Amino acid sequence: MSTILKIEGLSHRYSTSWAIRDINLEIQQTGVVGLLGSNGAGKSTTMNIMCGVLNQTEGRVYINGIDIRQQPELAKKEIGFLPQNPPLYTDLTVDEYLTYCAELRLIEKHRIKAAVNEAKERCGIAHFSTRLIRNLSGGYRQRVGIAQAIIHKPKLVVMDEPTNGLDPNQLIEARKLIREIALDHTVLLSSHILSEIHLLCKEVIMIEGGRIIFSDTMDAFNNYVQPHTVLVGMENMPPVAELMKIRGVSKVEVLTEKQARIYFDGEKDITERIITASVQHEWRLQEISLDKGLLDDIFKQLTIQSHQ
C-alpha cells in the first residue's frame, strides 16, 4: 500500500495562539479515514493546510510524496477538497459551475465536458445539469460540492464536516455517496460526531486541543476506549441517592422518569452490582447496557491516556 498523505511536525499559529501543534500522520491509500475532534480542536486548520488553502507556520505536508508548499500545482492534482462551507457560485447552473471548476483544476479543454459528465453521474446530479445551484436543496448542493472535489479524479478527497446540517434522509444519501467515492479514492473526512465516524470510517484520527491524541483502526479505538457509563431503565426508578449507594458509582444522570445514565470509576462488575441492588430493592430493572460514554468524556480519557 502506498502513502497518499504524510504530515510531519505540522503546527499553525493564528496571530499569537497555536491552533495545531506538532501533527504527524500518514494515510495509506484505502477507504474512509475519519478526523474526529470537538469544535475548535483544529480539524479545519489541518485540512486547509493539507489542501494548500492555508500556509502552515511549521512542518511539511506531502501529497503522494509531493510537498504541497514546494510544488502546489503538482500536489493539488492529487487532492480534492470539500471545505466546511463549499465554495458554490449559486447564480451558476450545475454545468456552468462544474465546468469552471474543471478549468481551475487545469483539466485539458477537450476533456472538460467528459469530466463534468462523469462527476455529475457519480454524484447523482446529472438530472440537475441546467438547474441554478441556488435552487437546489441542501443535500444536492452538497453533492455539487463533492462533484467539484472529484472532478479531476484526485487520489485523496478531503471533506470537512460533509454531513453537517443535513436532514436524516439527506444524511443517509450523503453517507452512501461518500462510501461509493471511497471505492476509488481515499477519503479523509472530519466530524465532531463520534457515531458519524463509526458509521463511515475504517480508521480514525482523533485531534484535541490541536494535537493528535489517537490514530488507529476503528476496532482498536473501540477496544481502547473503556466503557465507563451504564444506561439503565427501571420501572421503579429509585432516587439518585439510592443509586449512589452502589459501590463504584460516581455520578447519576437522570434521563427520564424511568431511565438514567450511571457513571462509574474503573469497577469491572458494576452491572452485576446494579442488577443485585435492583432485585433486592425491587426497582424492576428493564434494560441495562454499557455505554462507551459521551464524546467529551472520551476526549478526556484519551487525553489522559496519551500523556501517560
Ligand X SMILES: Nc1ncnc2c1ncn2[C@@H]1O[C@H](COP(=O)(O)OP(=O)(O)OP(=O)(O)O)[C@@H](O)[C@H]1O
Q: Which residues bind ligand X (CB under 6 A)?
A: 14, 19, 37, 39-45, 192
Q: Which long-range contacts (CB under 8 A, 24 or more apart) does 136-140 make?
A: 136/94, 137/170, 138/165, 138/166, 138/167, 138/170, 139/166, 139/167, 139/169, 139/170, 139/173, 139/174
Indicate the residue among 15 and 308 with the shorter CB distance to ligand X: 15
Indicate the residue among 57 and 117 with the shorter CB distance to ligand X: 57
Q: How far apart are CA 17 and CA 67, in angstroms?
A: 25
23 closest CA partner among 57, 51, 54: 57
170 closest CA partner among 143, 147, 149: 143
Indicate the residue among 46 and 99 with the shorter CB distance to ligand X: 46
**Shortest Å distance, C-beta 198 to ligand X:** 18
Indicate the residue among 85 and 169 with the shorter CB distance to ligand X: 85
**Shortest Å distance, C-beta 152 to ligand X:** 25
**Shortest Å distance, C-beta 160 to ligand X:** 7
In the numeric block, the cell 492534482 is attached to 77
**Shortest Å distance, C-beta 306 to ligand X:** 17
Indicate the residue among 179 and 192 with the shorter CB distance to ligand X: 192
**Shortest Å distance, C-beta 44 to ligand X:** 3
Cβ count within 10 A of residue 117: 14
**Shortest Å distance, C-beta 171 to ligand X:** 17
SS3 category, 29: coil
Query: Which cell numbers in the block locate residue 11?
Result: 503546527
Render 164-204 in DSSP notation, one character per residue.
TT--HHHHHHHHHHHHHHTTTSEEEEEES-HHHHHHH-SEE
Query: Which cell numbers in the block locate residue 212?
Result: 493528535
**Shortest Å distance, C-beta 25 to ligand X:** 15
* Residue 238 DSSP class: P
Q: How far apart are CA 178 and CA 193, in angstroms?
A: 16
Indicate the residue among 34 and 37 with the shorter CB distance to ligand X: 37
Indicate the residue among 124 and 209 with the shorter CB distance to ligand X: 209
Q: How far apart are CA 194 and CA 139, in angstroms?
A: 21
